[in-house]
Amino acid sequence: MILREWRRFYTIGKILLQHGLDELIPRHWQPWPVRLFRRTLFWLHNRYPQQSRGVRLRHALENLGPVFIKFGQMLSTRRDLLPPDLAEELALLQDRVPSFDGELARKQIEQSLGQPIEALFSDFDPQPLASASVAQVHTARLKENNADVVIKVIRPDIQPVIHDDIRLMRLCARIIAFLIPNNRLRPVEVIEEYRRTLLDELNLMSEAANTIQLRRNFENSPHLYVPYVYSDYCRENVLVMERIYGIPVSDRAALEANGTDLKLLAERGVEVFFTQVFRDSFFHADMHPGNVFVSREHPNNPQWIGIDCGIVGTLNRQDKRYLAENFLAFFNRDYRKVAELHVQSGWVPLDTKVEEFESALRTVLEPIFAKPLAEISFGHVLLNLFNTARRFNMHVQPQLVLLQKTLLYIEGLGRHLYPQLDLWQTAKPFLEHWMRQQIGPQAAWNAIKEKAPFWAEKLPEMPDLIFDTLTQVQHQQHMVKGLYQQYHQQHRRHAQARYLLGTGATLMLGSIILLPSHEQLATIGLTISILCWINGWWKISHR
């Protein structure tokens, strides 16, 4: 076991060094023992010096295998941590993984479902339809209703590979964190986040639940179709869902041959995205071209098809409200409003100087807005906003990073389908309508309708609730009155105590002055002053 891990560790190090990735670490962050050790590994020199650092990083991760490919894909979403050139290159990573034996897939499906394939499916193709880093897909036909389905099955040998590679990645992260203290990349935290993401993706029951939720949100919608999930046949490592026969969204020639209205399709993609984000607070966060198809039916009224819902994003009410207001402020180029919204939402620290933040936003965004709106990338505006806010100690939240990544995907697909797409003109009416629903008379009426069933349920209890409330109010009034009287008495005792202590101090001072000439009178004065002090201290100590 230890020998195998060290061999894997050496393989990882060899591939990273042969792609020159040690050059990504600034020289002043490398202690001299590390530089000396690197020179001794003379046979592991950079073999691709002519390539950019982003290309070398992407190729290295592809050579390291599926776990590292997935890591690169996840890392590409953390644009708050990576330089833009590395993030853009990692976003190109695709799952180029050979398929595993179909008979192994058959055995795993039978083991998970507890029945032979023939008992559940009248047809099963052992040749996979598609193969990815952690799973592959086979086509089949259900016996119960003769429906065409696809079966997604987790690779049977992926678990030990994942655990071994994650353990080694943790070790590398700790070494980097030790050698480069106060590293903004936070390597240990990034690896831990990746571990959680990967383990969640290995549970296909989670993907099934996400797919069911998204399908319910867009049931009978002409804009988006989500395949039906046969939940009775789903397990942690097996997912069975309806097979779709759409056109890949990246195949523009096939879409044109089918007579698809590409302008309407592109605009509907934008509407689907904003509907998921602002209406449902539940959006498909992995809408790259491999997961998006277009229905062959009704080309004049095109419909998107979304698959692979393993990664989804959610937003709370406050995030949605501030995002919508930020977008509208962008449309109006109101940088002051954008800066104030970031402070109000807590995305940047409360002590941030709004004027400085506003000036930084204007410097970065104004040159972008000098172009025609149709040529401006909405996703890159959001990226520039996050990069600017990062200078003001903004910690980008995961849901916002997923949102930004998804917006870049949608915009890229839309521009691919219809280069003249004006994303701003398409999005602004939607956002304005949504804001009207959140603020003003319409929002109040919606709130009343939403709460009406609750109020109707509580209406018969209202007399008892009112009586209980009045009783509690009366009881609280008595308590407040008693507390006030207690406070008044205490205040009066304190006033008396201060008077007695002051009088005692005055008599004592006078008695000391009279003591040489009027000893008897001074003695009486001292006695009275002591009595005043005793009485005063007693009133203070007995509240």
pLDDT computed for residue 188 by the predictor:
76
pLDDT at residue 294 in the model: 94
In eight-state DSSP terms, residue 98 is P
Q: What is residue 430's predicted lDDT score, i.e. its pLDDT?
A: 79
Whether 212 has a pLDDT exceeding 80, the answer reads yes
Contact call for residues 66 and 158 (beta carbons, < 8 A): yes
Q: What is the pLDDT of residue 69?
A: 80
3-state secondary structure of 114: coil
CA distance 401 to 378: 14
CA distances (Å), origin 169, targets 71, 74, 190, 336: 10, 14, 10, 43
Q: Which pLDDT value is given to residue 303?
A: 94
Residue 110 lies in a domain: no
Per-residue buried b or exposed e for 389-402, using 16+ beta carbons within 10 Å of the residue's own CB? bbebebebeebbbb
Q: Does any domain span residue 173? A: yes
Q: Is 55 annotated as a binding residue?
A: no
- What type of residue sits at position 109? I
Residues 190 and 297 reside in one and the same domain: no
Q: Is 297 helix (H, G, I), strand (E, B) or coil?
A: coil
253 is in an annotated binding site: no
Does residue 98 have a pLDDT over 70?
A: yes
Instruction: Give the integer Cα–Cα distance in Å for 414 and 265.
Output: 8
**DSSP 8-state secondary structure symbol assigned to residue 229:** B
Domain assignment of residue 361, yes or no: yes
Q: Are 427 and 489 in a shared domain? A: no
Shared domain for 173 and 304, answered yes or no, is: no
Q: How confident is the model at residue 31 (pLDDT cuts 50, 70, 90)?
A: low
E strands present in 249-300: 282-284, 292-294
Residues spanned by the domain of 58: 2-97+160-198
| Other beta carbons within 10 Å of 142 | 17
For tokens 């999930």, name the residue: 229
Do residue 9 and residue 77 come from a single domain? yes
Same domain, 480 and 420: no
pLDDT digits (tens, 9 = 90+) for 161-202: 777 788 877 877 787 777 666 555 567 777 777 777 777 778
* Confidence tier at 243 by pLDDT (50, 70, 90): very high
Whether residue 47 is contained in a domain is answered as yes
Do the domain assignments include residue 211? no
137 assigned binding-site residue: yes
pLDDT at 343 (0 to 100): 84
- Give me the residues paired with residue 106 across strands: none
Distances (CA, A) of 137 to 109, 118, 140, 205, 264: 11, 18, 10, 16, 31
Q: Tens digit of pLDDT for each residue in 421-446?
A: 777 777 778 777 777 776 656 655 66
Rounded to an integer, what distance in angstroms lies between the CA atom of residue 116 and that of residue 299? Answer: 41
- The answer on 500 and 361 residing in a single domain is no
CA distance 196 to 398: 13
| Count of domains observed in the chain | 3
Least confident of 66-70, 105-109, 209-213, 483-487: 483-487
pLDDT confidence of residue 199: 75
| Residue 224 · residue 272 · CB < 8 Å | yes
List the catalytic residues. 286
How far is Cα 511 from Cα 533, in angstroms, rounded to an integer?
A: 15
Model confidence at 80: pLDDT above 60: no
209 known member of a binding site: no
Q: Provide the percentage of residues in the chain whose pLDDT is more than 70.
A: 71
Mean pLDDT of the chain: 78
Residue 300 belongs to a domain: yes
Whether 26 has a pLDDT exceeding 70, the answer reads: no
Specify whether the CB–CB gap between 188 and 173 falls below 8 A.
Answer: yes
Please list the alpha-helical segments (H only) found in 77-157.
84-90, 102-113, 117-120
- 206 annotated to bind ligand: no
| Domain endpoint, select from 198, 228, 258 | 198
130 annotated binding-site participant: yes
Residue 348, annotated as binding a ligand: no
- pLDDT tens sequence across 395-417: 666 667 677 777 777 877 887 88
Q: For residues 370 and 155, what is the distance between their CA atoms, to the nearest angstrom?
A: 50
Decide which of 140, 171, 198 is a domain's last residue.
198
Q: Determine the Cα angle at 151 with ends 146 and 153, to 5°.
A: 160
What's residue 4's pLDDT? 63
Residue 329 marked ligand-binding: no
